[in-house]
Every structure is written in C-alpha cells, then in structure tokens.
A = this chain, B = another copy of it.
Amino acid sequence: MIIVEFSVVPIGRGESVSKYVAEAIKILENENIKYEVTPMGTIFETERLSYAFNIIEKAHEAVIRAGAKRVITSIKIDDRRDKERKMEDKVKSVLERLSVEK
C-alpha cells in the first residue's frame, strides 16, 4: 500500500486559498478512495503509484481551471513493499509506542 500526502497551492491569488483547495479535494471525492484532509494537505492511500499521480494531476489541473496562473504542488509518497499497512496503521504504531512507554 502506498500512502500519499499532497498539497496544491495557488500563488498570487490572494492569501485565502481554500476556494482552490476545495477544487482539488473534489477530485478525491469523485474517486472512490479513502482520504483525509489535514490542516497542511490531503492524505490518501492507493495500491498503484500511477493512479496516485493521475489523481494529483487532476487536482493540480482543477486548481488551474479555477483561475490560478501559478500553482506549487508538493507530494510525499511513502511506498512500503515489505509489509501490508494502511494509513491508520502508521499512526497507531507510533501512538502505541507512546502509551506503552508512559
């Protein structure tokens, strides 16, 4: 399972960018995938990297279609092949260590 975080930021369209970010997230809504909106980006999981890129490309283009003339898109991909794990497993395995040690 590949876990992906990305953010699409329009440059030069004012300080408030939520209107544009919403356009990017609508792309995820229309796909049938599990995703999570955080204060700093959007995280989703997928089994195929090409699919992840396909979604992010659509999100990036959606922000341009909404009027942005310059867009900076940041992506972080965590691809682990030795072990099955999901988005929530990563958080759980860290938090469990914290509580065990308390």
Contact residues of A with B, CB < 8 Å?
3, 5, 9, 11-19, 21-22, 25-26, 29, 36-41, 43, 45, 49-50, 53, 56-57, 60-61, 64, 68-83, 87-88, 90-91, 93-95, 97-98, 101
Contact = CB atoms under 8 A, between A and B. Distances in A.
Nearest to A83: B15
Contact of A21 (B39, B72, B79, B94): B94
Contacts of A3: 39-40
A18 B72 contact: no
| Dominant secondary structure of chain A at its interface with chain B | mixed
A39 B41 CA distance: 11
A66 to B, nearest CB: 11
